[in-house]
Amino acid sequence: MTATDRITLVVLNEDGSREKFTLSSWVGIPRKHELLWIGDDPFMVIEVEYAVSEGFFGARAIEAAGVYVRRLDEQEQQAVARRLASPIRGEDERPFRP
């Protein structure tokens, strides 16, 4: 993305309010329902909007995007923490070696 392109991150709060952040750099645009980390907090992508421009010979480029996310609730955060936790090894288990 160039300096003129923009991606707006919109955080949807539980009370219905929205917080908007313009992101100057982004590695790829997330898919819907993708888990996204902002700092130490996990968020869920619930909607992605694209503004696509048409170029020469049918080429298309994403000029702007809006990424709508919501904070995970307590149960979802616990499920993510369980999934990311490293499994406990028994005494008789050895590390995998190729």
Report the pLDDT averaged over residues 31-56: 83
Backbone angles phi, psi at 12, to 5 degrees: -95, 115
- Domain ranges (residues) in the chain: 6-81
pTM, rounded to two decimals: 0.62
Cβ-based neighbours of 31, under 8 Å, separated by 6 or more: 45, 48
Residue 3, pLDDT above cutoff 50:
no
- pLDDT digit string (tens) for 51-93? 777 878 878 777 777 889 998 888 988 888 887 776 666 666 6
